[in-house]
Structure 1
Amino acid sequence: MKLWEQALIALSILAVGFLLIDPFMLERAEAMSPAARDFFRAITDIGRSNWMLIPTATIIAFAVLLRRNHVGFRNAAGYGLIIQAASFAFVSIGGAGLIASLCKNILGRARPKFYEELGHFHFNFFAFDADHASLPSGHSTSIFAFATVVAILIPRARVFVYSIAVWVAFSRVLIGVHYFTDAVLGAILGTVFPYLVRDRFAARRWLFEYAPGGGYRLRGLRTQAWLGWPAGLRSSYDTADQPAQDPSAKQG
C-alpha cells in the first residue's frame, strides 16, 4: 500500500478508538470490582521509567569507571559491550519517554476523570498540566520500550516481557487514569522507538550491525551467546522479517 493509504487506515482505526472504544473501556473500568481495581493499581507502577533508567545509568557509570581501572584489550571489550547494551536500553526507554512527555503536554488531552464534564475528545493544547496530559500514556510508552529492548536483545524472552507490558498498559485504562487510545498510542511509540535507536546504533556498529541478508543482528557470536541467544538464531535472527537495507546505508 502507498503511504497515504496506510495513513488513512491508521487514522480510521484511531477514529474508531476515540469514538467507540474509549467510552466503552471507561464504562467497563468504572464497573470493575474493588478487588480487581486494587490488583491493577498494584501493578500499574511497573510502567514507571525510574526503575528502568536509574539502574541502566548506574551500570553505564560503573562500567566506564571499571574499564579505566582494568587495563587490557579483553577487559576493555567486555566493559564496552556492557556500556553499549546499557546505553541502548537507556536511550530507547528514556528517549521514548521524553517524546511521550512532550506529546502529552503539547496535545493536552483531558484525563478520564473529566469525562462527564468535558467528554473524551477534549484537548487543551500546550496546557502543561497533569490533568490535561493523557495522550499518550507515559507508563505504556516506557513499559513497551523496555519490553522491546529486552525482545531485541534476548529474543526468547519477548513473549514474557510483552505480556507484562500489555497488562501494565491496560492497567492505566482500568484504573481510570488513561483512555484506551492513550495506552495504545503509548505502546506503539514505545515499540517503534527502540527499533529506530537500533538502526542508529547499527549504522555506527555499536552493539548491532547490518546482517548480510538484510536486517540487523548483534555484533559477534560471543555477544549473542552472552545475551542468551539460542544457537539457531545467532546468525539469522531478525533477517527474514526485515526489509533489505540500502547498501549505501551500510556504508554509513
Structure 2
Amino acid sequence: MKLWEQVLIALSVLAVGFLLIDPFMLERAKAMPPAARDFFRVITDIGRSNWMLIPTATIIGFAVLLRRNHIGFRNAAGYGLIIQAATFAFVSIGGAGLISSLCKNILGRARPKLYEELGHFDFTFFAFDADHASLPSGHSTSIFAFATVVAIFIPRARVFVYTIAAWVAFSRVLIGVHYFTDAALGAILGTVFPYIVRDRFAARRWLFEYAPGGGYRLRGLRTQAWLGWPAGVRASHDAAGAPSQEKSAKQG
C-alpha cells in the first residue's frame, strides 16, 4: 500500500478506538469487582521503568569498571559484550519511555478520572500536568520495550514476555488511569523503538550486524551462547525478529 493509504487506515482505526472502544472499556473497568481492581493495581507496577533502567545502568557501570581492571583481550571482549547488550536494553527502554513522556505532555490528553467533566477526547496541548498526561501510557511503552528487547535477544521467550506485557498494559485501562488507545499506542511505541535502535546498532556493528541474506543477527556464536541460545538455532533475523529460513547460527 502507498503511504497515504497506510496513514488513512491507521487514522481510521485510531478514530474507532477513540470514539467506541475507549468509553466502552472505561465503563467495563468501572464495573469491575473491587478485588479484581486491587489485583490489577498490584501487577500494573511491573510496567514502571525504574526496575528496568536502574539494573541495566548498574551493569554498564560495573562492566566498564571491571574492563579497566581486568587486562586482556578475552576479558575486554567479554565486558564489551556485556556493555553493548546492557546499553541496547537501556537505550531501547529509556528512549521509548522518554518519547512517551514527551508525547503525553505535549498532547495533554485528559485522564479517565476527568471523563465525566471533560469527556474522553479532551486535549490540552503542552499542559505538563499529570491529569493531562494520558496519551500514550508510559507503563505500556516501557513494558513493551522491555518485552521486545527480550524477544530480540531470546526469540523463544517472546510469547511469554509479550503476554506479560499485554496484561500489564491492559491493567492500566482496568484500574482507570488510561484509556484503551493510550495503552495500545504505548504498546506500539514500545515495540517499534527497540527495532529502530537495533538498526542503528547494526549499522555500527555494535552487538548486531546485517545478515548476508537480509535482516539482522547477533554478532558471533559466543554472543548467542551467552544469551542462552540453543545449538543450531537460526542466527539471522528479519526486521520483525522472526528466524530466517536460510542462514544458520554457524554464520554468526
CA contact (8 A) 2:151 2:241 kept: no
1:48 aligns to what?
Answer: 48
Q: CA RMSD, aligned part only?
A: 1.4
Q: 2:33 is matched by which residue type in structure 1?
A: S
1:157 aligns to what?
Answer: 157
Which TM-score applies when normalising by structure 1?
Answer: 0.94
Distance 2:25 2:173 in 1: 7
How many residues are aligned here? Answer: 243
Distance 1:43 1:184 in 2: 18
2:101 aligns to what?
Answer: 101
Match of 1:78, SS? Answer: helix
Q: 1:197 is matched by which residue type in structure 2?
A: V
Distance 2:130 2:239 in 1: 42
For structure 1, the 5+ residue unaligned runs are 243-252
1:39 aligns to what?
Answer: 39
Distance 1:229 1:16 in 2: 41
* Offset at residue 231 of structure 1 (A): 2.8
CA contact (8 A) 2:215 2:236 kept: no
* Offset at residue 178 of structure 1 (A): 0.1
Distance 2:162 2:149 in 1: 11
Q: Give the alignment of 1:218-229 within 5 angstroms.
A: 218-229=218-229
Match of 1:209, SS? Answer: strand
Q: Give the alignment of 1:16-165 within 5 angstroms.
A: 16-165=16-165
Encode CA deviations 1:60-104: one digit per residue, 9 max, x unaligned.
000000000000000000000000000000000000000000000
Which TM-score applies when normalising by structure 2?
Answer: 0.94
Distance 1:57 1:222 in 2: 23
Distance 2:235 2:97 in 1: 32
Match of 2:232, SS? Answer: helix
Q: 2:115 is matched by which residue type in structure 1?
A: Y
* Offset at residue 226 of structure 1 (A): 1.3
CA contact (8 A) 1:137 1:186 kept: yes
* Offset at residue 229 of structure 1 (A): 1.8
2:201 aligns to what?
Answer: 201
Q: 2:32 is matched by which residue type in structure 1?
A: M
Cα distance change, pair 90–157 in 1 and its aligned pair in 2 (3 A): same
Moved more, 149-158 or 227-236: 227-236
Distance 2:215 2:65 in 1: 33
For structure 2, the 5+ residue unaligned runs are 243-252
Q: 1:172 is matched by which residue type in structure 2?
A: R
* Offset at residue 241 of structure 1 (A): 7.2
Distance 1:148 1:237 in 2: 14
* Offset at residue 225 of structure 1 (A): 1.5
Encode CA deviations 1:216-252: one digit per residue, 9 max, x unaligned.
000001101211223333433437978xxxxxxxxxx
CA contact (8 A) 1:211 1:239 kept: no
Q: 1:92 is matched by which residue type in structure 2?
A: S
* Offset at residue 55 of structure 1 (A): 0.2
1:185 aligns to what?
Answer: 185
1:247 aligns to what?
Answer: none
Q: Does residue 210 in structure 1 map to residue 210 in structure 2?
A: yes
1:5 aligns to what?
Answer: 5
Encode CA deviations 1:38-79: one digit per residue, 9 max, x unaligned.
110000000000000000000000000000000000000000
Match of 2:124, SS? Answer: coil
Distance 1:190 1:73 in 2: 36
Distance 1:73 1:143 in 2: 36
